[in-house]
Structure 1
Amino acid sequence: MRDRLVALALMCLAGTAALAAPPASPPRAAPVGASSAEAPAPPPALPEGNAGLAARYPGDAGIAKAPAVLFADGFEDAAAPEDLGRTWDAVYHASCTRIAEEPENVHAGRRALEFRVPQQAAALHNTAAKQFKDEQDVVFLRFYSKLEKGFDMAGGGYHTGGTISAHYYTAGRASAGVRADGRNKFLAGFESERQNRQTPSPGPLNVYCYHPEQRDVWGDHFFPTGTVVPFSSRPHPFGPHFVARPDVVPEPDRWTCYEVMVKANTVGRRDGRIACWVDGKLIADFLNLRLRDVADLKIDRIQIGLGVGTNPVRENKKWYDDVVVATSYIGPMVAAKK
């Protein structure tokens, strides 16, 4: 009898302890973009030089018909800014937009697009934008551009190049100052950065980026060296295979070929990528990016532009020509056979 009572008491104690013990926590899912224990494989090498679509279409003749091309415009069919609406979905500030025909301000053919920012205190952002109904995971944007001699703009809202974005614009309106959260948008602009006039004009090239891990509500600036602004003392997020490259400052009064690629990441993985070329040379390659957390957030727009928050020093101009948008590397224009 005594043995039975002891056994019963022990069972009761065990049951009480089990009730008092806190329930085991369920295993946590790894956060989106968390690195695994296994080091990521090196990314595939990117093409350079004349290893792209343009090499097959000298002078860009017929390039718009290439299967990988989404859009192309050399501005040959536009005699006035009003004509741009036939090809582009949005053109802002027609009074500061001109179709140039002077040979020195045209890269190829007879015409190019000119943007002008007057000397004024008010903000102005010239833009030509193309919207895509068939949204994409990977887009390459190539364009030629030239800054006028003596170009001198700086400060907040300084944007001077080409942009690829996903749902950054709603009903034609930008969502500046709204953080990317992996579901709402992302944006990458290939442009110069010059916050003050102590920086030599036009400022070094960088990628202006809205992404879910951005450091500031107004977006980040990625530089080829690996520096990220703001909070540049923090380590960059580009992973172990990132290769630091020197900063590049565009030369005014010279036609230059620019190309930028944005590859959206696979959901749950850090395989997003943004790369930049100048005259066919890879000058920046940002790896290990998380741009989205949902698969239906895809690229729906590209644009070219020139703008700044205030322009008190002088009038400034920039020209664009030979814009091509594709799903694979484009490369510089190859001279047409005579």
Structure 2
Amino acid sequence: MLLFAVTVLLVRFLQPAENETISAAVTVTAANTAPAGGIATLYPGDVGIESHPGVLFVERFEDATPTELFARWTGIRNGSAMAFSADVPPGSPGSRSLTILWVGGVSDGGHLYKRLSPGVETLHVRYYIKYPTSGTYSHTGIWMGGYSPPLAWPNPQAGVKPAGDDRFIAAAEQNPLTARFDHYNYWVGMHQSADGNYWGNLLLNDRHVQAKTGQWTCVEHMVRLNSPVTASNGEHAIWLDGVKISHLGQGFPKGGWSAGIFTQDAAGSPFEGFRWRTDSNVKLNWIWLQVYAPNEAVGVTGSIKFDHVVVAKSYVGCLRAAQPTGPTATLERQRIPDRTSR
């Protein structure tokens, strides 16, 4: 099903030579689906991207105080470890990003958690992150998943396999233990780790795939839930700086398992897919922005920055730089009600 929005624009162009104004009406019909390059291609600098019908949540960190920022999120942990920074990604028209700090022996980071209501079947989370050139951290990025019943706080239950009717987690993060960027996923069909626990499964295991340090990285990942709930046709994909580095689903890619690690390899066997849930009440209904660094050396400090968070139902893509200003014009919009086409 495609939803179409029709907008009539009355465009007035000013001709300086004659000092006259010429008006022309233009009718534009646009499908509410993402363009090939992603939703962000329609909104240079992400300006106005929250108005797209496929966008569920946007966070730019442009607030005057942390209190204003926290009001948009459902749960906050260790807000005192968070601060605004003037360091922003290239192409951003903003002036602030969010820094989450940690100090070994004192604090281990913090988080912002957002409940999404209603839950959805497919979700994209795009954000910018700046990893440090040094420091010891365990988990980072913006995770997504589902709880049934929905929760106002994160409950990851580390090391425990989900039952299928309760929860699942999908993450994309730089793994300091393996020195590579990877998935970190919990679901009912996950594999047991070598120590007998069920730690998040790593599903790429490619030493050549790394997030940059000391530079901004555009991260996006997508989860599509299995349907029907008896199937294993769920998916998880990851993009770094607009390049898809991993995409797993039923029958793809090929590779092999070693305990809780799947190494993608064209000579291996097809991936079995994701049975994210066994109950249709389990939906994608939360995101979790976090920095967790419990093992830093005493007295050593570190920080990770975040910016330009967009949560949507389809591919977002990286920031598109703002375009130069064109001819002088004013636009008057007349909104015509949406209509549905099958």
TM-score normalised by L of structure 1: 0.71
Relative distance call for 1:50 and 1:334 in structure 2 (3 A) is: farther
Name the CA distance, whole Å, in 2 between partners of 1:151 and 1:108. 28
2:232 is aligned to 270
2:298 maps to 1:317? no
CA–CA distance in structure 1, aligned partners of residues 64 and 210 of structure 2:
32
What is the identity, as a one-letter code, of the residue corresponding to 1:213? Answer: G
From 140, 145, 148, the counterpart of 1:160: 140
> Which residue in 1 is equivalent to 2:118?
134
In the alignment, the residues of structure 1 paired with residue 71 and residue 91 of structure 2 have an alpha-carbon distance, to the nearest angstrom, of 20
* Equivalent of 1:80 in 62, 65, 68: 65
Larger Rg: 1
User: Which structure is higher in helix share?
Assistant: 1
SS of structure 2 residue aligned to 1:209: coil
Distance 1:332 1:175 in 2: 28
* Structure 2, gaps ≥5 residues long: 1-33, 250-272, 325-342
Summarize deviations over 1:151-198 as a string: whole Å, max 9, x none: 2215xxx10111011018745241413321111100011111123xxx
1:223 to 179, 190, 203: 203
Q: How does 1:124-273 map to 2 (within 5 A)?
A: 124-148=108-132, 150-154=133-137, 158-167=138-147, 170-177=151-158, 178-195=160-177, 203-214=179-190, 215-216=192-193, 217-225=197-205, 247-266=208-227, 267-273=229-235
Residues 279, 332 of structure 1: 8 Å contact kept? yes
Partners of 1:104 and 1:255 in 2: CA distance:
6
Q: Alpha carbons of 1:207 and 1:108: their partners in 2 closer, same or farther (altered >3 Å)?
A: farther
| CA RMSD, Structure 1 to Structure 2 (Å) | 2.4
Q: Is the 2:91–2:322 contact (alpha carbons within 8 Å) kept by the matching residues of 1?
A: no
1:281 aligns with 2:243: yes
Percent identical residues? 26
CA distance, structure 1, for counterparts of residue 224 and residue 89 of structure 2: 35
What code does the residue aligned with 1:298 have? Answer: K
- 1:86 positional shift: 2.4
Aligned counterparts of 1:289 and 1:276: Cα–Cα separation in 2:
15
Show the counterpart of 1:51. 37
TM-score (norm 2): 0.70
Question: 2: CA distance between counterparts of 1:115 and 1:186?
Answer: 25
Looking at structure 2, the residues matched to 246 and 331 of structure 1 have their Cα atoms a distance apart, in angstroms, of 24
Point out 4+ residue stretches in structure 1 off by more than 6 angstroms.
Answer: none
Number of the residue aligned with 1:293: 278
Structure 2 vs 1, CA of residues 173 and 220 (structure 1 numbering), >3 Å: closer, same or farther? closer
How many residues get paired? 260
CA distance in 2, matches of 1:147, 1:49: 30
The offset of 1:91, in angstroms, is 2.1
Mapped to 1, the partners of 2:199 and 2:282 lie a distance apart of 18
1:4-39 CA distances to partner (integer Å, 9 max, x unpaired)? xxxxxxxxxxxxxxxxxxxxxxxxxxxxxxxxxxxx
Contiguous gaps of at least 5 residues in structure 1: 1-47, 226-244
